[in-house]
């Protein structure tokens, strides 16, 4: 699972630039491959650098925060053959692509112009829209998804060539993927560069194609994945699941999968950020005399004390019964209950007698001309 950048640097999410710089320097000194020879130190060093690249740059940081890193709880591990995700001291290729090449599924042309066509190229990022129930978004959990994507062909180890054979360097272009032609015109000599017609720009030709993938090196497959939904996600939260997009080409890293969440509404609860809102109805006698009632919260039923003399529309706060804060789930929002007082539209003769007696004690004029209701004419 891709780790959260703040977690890597050991800072809080609201750390300022100075704190991030300090945390980065401290960790970079500790894990620099020149000083730290422990196994894994180099990987940690790369992770630290990657986190710093993004968090130290306000614009990148803002974009990073619009995604939530989410993990896969089962399925395959990292596919072989792309160890390093391309950290070269600049912005890591995967982050860079996700942030700047933006769109999903439309990046192929861009990639081809930006990279040598016969070099490794990163797989496409994919988008999946996922519906969550109200409670699932609050408490997170595992969710099974099916994602159609291109997987690296295991038969040919993504070379596209039949096992035992190798793709050959294209003899027409010598592996460049391009051919040049000099044209003489009345205006001078021009060199025209075009895509090699033999290899289609790949620089390689596969004479014996792998039968499993028909020479593509990748296969369209629908994969079942169990992803872990973090606690506290909301409608519109975007989860980034590293390396579950399309497989890369010629040993390039796979793209990422972005899961856009859509949270269903609930009949009882409404959500406002990390707070849960709901209404509770009590009887007018309960409002006057106070009561102890059972109410529903997202954690299940709980007892609530209603103090005597409570007024309509009073908002009662149940602390820590709201939504766990995304990224810091020990802190939870509140549950805000708006109290409604149920005034009966009909009363029995016995109730009416008692209420009229009560009105007399309180010196309130009631019932004159009221139709079916003693409350019809109070203080006219
Ligand atoms: Zn194959």
pLDDT at 34: 87
Burial 83-110 (b: 16+ CB within 10 A, else e): eebbbeeebbbbbbbbbebeebeebeee
The alpha carbon of 157 and the centre of ligand 1 are apart by a number of angstroms equal to 7
Counting DSSP H helices and E strands in the chain, the numbers are: 9, 19
pLDDT at 3: 66
The alpha carbon of 210 and the centre of ligand 1 are apart by a number of angstroms equal to 5
Per residue in 252-269, pLDDT (tens digit) is 888 889 999 999 999 999
Q: Report the percentage of the chain scoring pLDDT > 70.
A: 83
Topology at the third CATH level for domain 5-102? Helix Hairpins (1.10.287)
pLDDT at 367: 76
CA distance 180 to 172: 11
The alpha carbon of 163 and the centre of ligand 1 are apart by a number of angstroms equal to 8
The alpha carbon of 248 and the centre of ligand 1 are apart by a number of angstroms equal to 13
Q: What percentage of the chain's residues is helix, strand, coil (to nearest 5)?
A: 20, 30, 45
pLDDT at 117: 53
Per residue in 66-125, pLDDT (tens digit) is 787 787 765 444 333 333 333 223 333 344 444 444 444 433 333 333 334 566 788 888
May I ask the CATH architecture of the domain 270-342? Sandwich (2.60)
pTM score of the predicted model: 0.66
The alpha carbon of 86 and the centre of ligand 1 are apart by a number of angstroms equal to 24
Class of domain 126-263: mainly beta
Per residue in 275-309, pLDDT (tens digit) is 999 999 999 999 999 999 999 999 999 999 999 99
The alpha carbon of 109 and the centre of ligand 1 are apart by a number of angstroms equal to 23
The alpha carbon of 85 and the centre of ligand 1 are apart by a number of angstroms equal to 22
Q: What is the mean pLDDT of each run of 10 residues along the chain (380 residues)?
A: 77 90 94 88 86 88 80 51 30 42 40 49 89 96 92 90 89 87 82 87 87 91 92 92 88 87 96 96 96 96 96 96 90 96 95 94 79 50
Q: Where are the domains of the chain?
A: 5-102, 126-263, 270-342
CA 348 to centroid of chain Cα atoms: 56
């Amino acid at each position: 699972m891709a780790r959260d950048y703040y977690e890597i640097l050991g800072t809080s999410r609201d750390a300022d630039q100075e704190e991030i710089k300090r945390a980065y320097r401290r960790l970079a000194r500790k894990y620099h491959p020149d000083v730290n020879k422990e196994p894994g130190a180099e990987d940690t060093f790369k992770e630290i650098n990657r986190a710093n690249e993004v968090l130290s740059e306000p614009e990148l940081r803002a974009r990073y925060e619009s995604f939530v890193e989410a993990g896969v709880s089962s399925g395959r591990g990292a596919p072989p053959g792309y160890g390093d995700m391309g950290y070269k001291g600049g912005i890591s290729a995967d982050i860079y692509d996700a942030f700047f090449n933006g769109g999903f599924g439309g990046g192929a042309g861009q990639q081809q112009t930006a990279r040598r066509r016969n070099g490794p190229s990163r797989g496409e990022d994919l988008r999946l829209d996922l519906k969550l129930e109200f409670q699932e978004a609050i408490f997170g959990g595992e969710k099974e998804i099916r994602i159609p994507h291109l997987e690296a062909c295991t038969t040919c180890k993504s070379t596209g060539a039949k096992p035992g054979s190798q793709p050959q360097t294209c003899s027409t272009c010598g592996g460049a993927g391009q051919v040049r032609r000099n044209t003489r015109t009345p205006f001078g000599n021009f060199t025209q560069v075009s895509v090699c017609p033999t290899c289609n720009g790949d620089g390689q030709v596969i004479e014996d194609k792998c039968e499993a993938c028909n020479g593509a090196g990748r296969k369209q497959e629908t994969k079942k994945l169990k992803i872990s939904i973090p606690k506290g996600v909301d409608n519109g939260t975007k989860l980034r699941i590293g390396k579950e997009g399309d497989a890369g080409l010629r040993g390039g890293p796979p793209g990422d999968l972005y899961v856009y969440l859509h949270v269903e509404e609930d009949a009882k609860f409404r959500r406002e950020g990390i707070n849960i809102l709901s209404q509770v109805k009590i009887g007018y006698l309960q409002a006057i005399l106070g009561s102890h009632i059972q109410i529903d919260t997202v954690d299940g039923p709980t007892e609530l004390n209603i103090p005597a003399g409570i007024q309509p529309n009073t908002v009662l706060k149940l602390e820590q019964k709201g939504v766990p804060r995304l990224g810091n789930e020990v802190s939870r929002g509140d549950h805000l209950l708006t109290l409604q007082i149920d005034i009966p539209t009909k009363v029995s003769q016995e109730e009416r007698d008692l209420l009229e007696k009560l009105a007399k004690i309180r010196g309130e004029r009631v019932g004159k001309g009221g139709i079916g209701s003693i409350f019809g004419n109070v203080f006219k």
